[in-house]
A and B are shown apart, each in its own frame.
Chain A
Amino acid sequence: MKIRHNLRAGVAALALVAAGSVQAEVTVLGWPGGPEEAALRAVTEIYNAKADVAEENKVELLFTSRDGFFDKLQVDLAAGSTAFDLNLIATYSIGRYAPYMEPVTLSDQAGTVFGDTVLKTMQFDGKQYGVPTDLSLHFLYYRTDLIDALLADDAAKAKYSEIAQQHLGKAMEPKAPADWTWEDFVANALYFSQSVNPDSPTRYGTVIQAKNLLFNMMVFHSWPRSYGGNWMDDAGNITVDSEAFRTALSQAKLLFDLGATPPDSTSYEYAEANAAYASGQVAAMVQWNAAAGELTAAQAATGTTAPPAGPEGKFTHIHGLGLGLNKAAENKDGAIAFLQWLSTEEAALAYAKAGGAPGLAADTAAKLAADRPDLVQVGDYASNFGFVMNGGTSEKALSVYEAQAKEFTGFWAGTQDLDTALKNATAAMSELLK
């Protein structure tokens, strides 16, 4: 009797599980951690609370670790995983994942909400593969209290000039960060490093996140680009072994050699570099715009401006993060409906208010000027200084970043010389971008 009762209970439980699996949902694989996750959670709540969203089209979020995220995504997509209907895509990875995704049509508002430039960050071969959720570029973060004190003190200025003369070969004057060239950035980093200037109020003048990691190359690229550097010329020749890259790499190397960036920074990525700045022991750094909230919360006297200039002007690497449709999705209709809603003004404003960083057209960004002034700055820098390296959206773009990360970090850490690093990078890029 008891066995029969247990069997009935088991069958009932199985039936419940089966019924649950029929009731499909829209599963979204998002970018874990950071403001992107918080913003996606917020807009998902708004969407799921809407009366016209059917129960089977409610959105569920799925997050894994950032470590190896794109590798895991590659395997899942190639295997035809149905574990998620929508997944994260980035400008530099669309070409890699396009074979496993489906183009989408966004809402009619998308053009006016984001503008064509931002929509293009989610396009490949002329097709729209996703809705742009976050625009990433770089700010120069600096301690206003330290810079103001330096600019107001003649003795400090003289010391600054002396350090510049000794290490850069010319007597330089300190300037406001908005007017910095990369040489000013280096001189400032040396002045605020105790290894060079024992009286410095900070232990290090800057922090360069130099772990052998592709994202760190994106942060670095604004530097050689401002000297005219590019991955390829218009004829498709690899041009990484150029004066521009040599200059930028050597200037950064000087900061490692003279202790102007923490010695451990060859193992730093985003979080570690932010922790260094947040500790108050770093005077200035180039970092993703997404760090603005975290860094200004930790160091109230923090100013932001565009990265320093080179002979070719100011530049900042730019790319978009977004959500696209998995070709193997089981609930495509529900997934497309969510994507279309995400591309409306209502969703974009809610996403921004919740901490996300969508690249918004000027009119839309103006509606957030009070809540998110940084988004106005993001839009301004994206349109005036934003760049993508030639080949930066190709199928093998991620591998190019990785090849450069291996070679350039090796040079900075002193495991190989500059000629070898550039020769190896050129060879790897020639193979990847042929």
Chain B
Amino acid sequence: MASRQHRENALLASPLVLFLLLILGFPTVLSLIYGFSETSFETLMQPQFSGLQNFRDVLGDPTFWQAAGFSLRFGLITAVLQCALGLALAVYLAPLVRAHPWTVAILIIPMIVAPAMMGLMYRLVLHEFAGPLPHYLYQWFGWSPSFLGPAHVFKTVVLAETLQWTPFAFLLFLTAYQSIPSELREAASVDGARPLRLFWKIEWPLMLPTVFVALFIRFIDGFRVFDNIYTLVGSGPGGSTTSMSIYIYETFLRRGEIGKAMAAAILLFLTAFLLLALGQWLTRRRRP
């Protein structure tokens, strides 16, 4: 009986497995082949095995480490900002959302916009001569910061990413917050706990696993950022806004170093995978 059920499960799962193998497996295998080969656009069909040479080239490339540093900094800062803001909004707006559930739709609008479009939008909005923001700052104060200049560009891209993806963290935290049993809150209130103490002693510990998950997801998303930065400022003067994904894109398409780009992509994948595994392990450890 169990064996029959096992066969049925396998049969039912097979279309999905086949689909995943086709969609994800083929490019993964191709990336692995190219990552260990010397390949250019002219020799796409005849890659020459080159062992670990591409990985040595990537790890010896200062631009790779510059991109890794940017991605790490960007991923960490945006993840912390998004989670902090998302958590604050979820707790603060929970009563409003409970009374008017449709407000969630408004709050998540930034998340619906394609990141590339968001980058283009900010490129227009922040332009000193065409953008409304600098225009009004000049009109009212006679001065405007150069949002996309070397001094402020990092802060600007961090802000853009934070504004777009805070709603994602907000949704996660709102779900976690609303799933806390009301009896716990009622019992704490009966015992005289004030709202701040209720949050720190009851709600925060119960939401902590969600905070970890949100931090990891947002960090990985920030670490591999591409669209909005690339459309907003490109790879930046001197490569100053080159993320890991932009590095891979430019190595692949601009310089035609396909093997090296694939090696960097494999390293990026391994980093993300290890971080996710670490996050999962930490979450499991916390469970009683």
Contact = CB atoms under 8 A, between A and B. Distances in A.
A77 to B, nearest CB: 8
B238 A212 contact: yes
B120 to A, nearest CB: 9
Interface in B107-124: 123
A399 B234 contact: no
Nearest to A409: B237
A212 B146 contact: no
Interface string B217-240: 000000000000001111111111
A263 interface: yes
Chain A contact surface mostly: helix
A140 interface: no
B41 A407 contact: no
A391 to B, nearest CB: 16
Contacts of A85: none
Contact of A276 (B123, B129, B234, B235): B129
A67 B130 CA distance: 20
Contact of B231 (A67, A279, A414): A67
A210 interface: yes
A275 B125 CA distance: 13
Nearest to A412: B237
B230 to A, nearest CB: 8
A99 interface: yes
B254 A272 contact: no
B95 interface: no
A410 B237 contact: yes
A264 interface: yes
B150 A212 contact: no
Given A262-B146, A264-B147, A413 B237 contact: yes
Interface string B146-173: 1111110100000000000000000000
A430 interface: no
A210 B234 CA distance: 11
A75 interface: yes
B146 A263 contact: yes
Interface in A254-291: 262-264, 266-267, 272, 275-276, 278-279, 281
A20 interface: no
A275 B149 contact: no
B233 A410 contact: no
Contact of B255 (A281, A402, A410, A421): A402
B253 A275 contact: no
A281 B44 contact: no
B238 A276 contact: no
B73 interface: no
A415 B233 contact: no
A399 B255 contact: yes
Given A68-B253, A279-B129, A264 B237 contact: no
Contacts of B253: 68, 71, 74-75
Given A262-B128, A262-B129, A263-B150, 6 more contacts: A210-B237, A212-B235, A266-B237, A399-B254, A399-B256, A406-B239
29 contacts: A67-B231, A68-B253, A71-B253, A74-B253, A74-B256, A75-B253, A78-B44, A210-B237, A211-B234, A212-B239, A213-B234, A262-B128, A264-B126, A264-B127, A264-B128, A264-B146, A266-B148, A267-B232, A267-B234, A275-B127, A278-B129, A399-B256, A402-B254, A406-B238, A409-B237, A410-B237, A412-B237, A413-B236, A415-B237
Interface of A: 67-68, 71, 74-75, 78, 99, 210-213, 262-264, 266-267, 272, 275-276, 278-279, 281, 398-399, 402, 406-407, 409-416, 421
